[in-house]
Amino acid sequence: MEIHIPYGDSHLVCDLPDERVAGVLAPMAERAGGDEREIVLDALENPIGSPLLSELVRGKRRIVVITSDHTRPLPSHITLPLLLEEIRRGSPGAEITILIATGGHRAPTTEEIRTKFGSQIAGSERIVVHDSRNGASLVHMGRLPSGGDFSINRLAVEAELLVAEGFIEPHFFAGFSGGRKSVLPGIAGYESVLANHCAEFIAHPKARTGILEGNPIHEDMLYAAEASHLAFILNVALDSQKKICDAFAGHWNEAHLAGCAFVRDRSCVKASPADIVITSNGGYPLDQNIYQAVKGMTAAEATCREGGVIIIAAECRDGHGGEAFYRAFEKVRTPGDLMEEILLRGRDETQPDQWQIQIFARVLMHHPVIMVTSAPKDMVEALNMRWAPSLEEALAMAEGLLGDSKAKITVVPDGVATIVEP
């Protein structure tokens, strides 16, 4: 069986013996969507639980549109012009600010902004990059249900209407991306992000892929979206080629839930337990660093037998993706030691990148991980993983670790886009 694994801007190909493949876990075939622009226009013309955006903006001048940063595959070059057109239809003289929701990520470069939004928007619209660590740009909004201080970007608070665009995919601890996530962590202060991503919540059994109800991280995010007066969202669902296959516009929660239902329906698969699981982070931009690649590992984790080997393919053109994440194992001996240290920290003691480290440690406590990547070998090994230059060599390494050249293999081609259920 020939398998194709997303990797950077392309794919890796590997031929597996048919008799060894326990299953290929992939989202169902995408719905024939047609023209991407028409899909978005239809959503804007038929908002869920809300008047038309052009009606909401009437009489308002200061409009802020939150959008995703360079780490997310949202095709803003398609969605954003239509969103801006709809705003200006209702308020021709509107003063629009595009606010890039970075959360705790680095700021995008000028070229990344141009690539994502297109030259026309990048060159003519007012674009502001959110800085979660710049206290002067934040306004305190109260306290989150988690107990943490809640602050967001001042531009959003001062807006007469707050709008957000994004995309919906399974998320490894928030349940799904999109919707309320544009506010928290998107444009929130870093202390708010830390509180929301505390060890207690990350360890919660409901803080998992595809789960919203009872998820304490999601509940914080709902509070943040409502407190910020988020008025309208445009969220899209993407197919395996990162093309828009559906769109959802309207009320920030109702439209988001409709989008989550669609994504769940096409993303859920039954686990196919195996001793070796091959997965990816869905290619660029989600596989641009090791930090992000932890997401794909969690899909493999859900179908890998205890002690089985996870192979993840992620290009990681930007290296490790976070200094705190990279240095996590310097002061501890094992993933178990690291987990013990993290779980002792209270909600107000969360450290940078702790949530990613915590989930990564959880995976490593139960599975050796082999990474097929262009990242340096010593970088991968410093993170308690094994490095391989190809899927074939990774598979041979996994067989060696297991002492079994006939071990069953499950393939999850895109670990980010797949919800693996028991």
Rounded Cα distance between 289 and 15, Å, is 26
| Active-site choice (11, 70, 77, 105) | 105
Residue pair 210/202 in contact (Cβ under 8 Å)? The answer is no
Q: Classify residue 130 by burial, with Cβ atoms within 10 Å: 0-12, 13-18, 19+.
A: buried
Q: Classify residue 345 by burial, with Cβ atoms within 10 Å: 0-12, 13-18, 19+.
A: middle
DSSP run (H or E) holding 121: helix 119-124
Active site residue 171: yes
| Active-site choice (70, 130, 171, 367) | 171
Indicate the pairing of strand 170-171 with strand 175-176.
antiparallel
DSSP for 334-378 reads SHHHHHHHHHTS-GGG--TTHHHHHHHHHHHHH--EEEE-SS-HH
Active site residue 105: yes
Rounded Cα distance between 136 and 134, Å, is 6
**Residue 48, phi then psi, degrees to nearest 5:** -95, 120
- Provide the residue type at 276 as one letter: I
Q: Apex CA 286: angle with CA 284 and CA 234, to 5°?
A: 105
Where in the sequence numbering do the catalytic residues fall? 105, 171
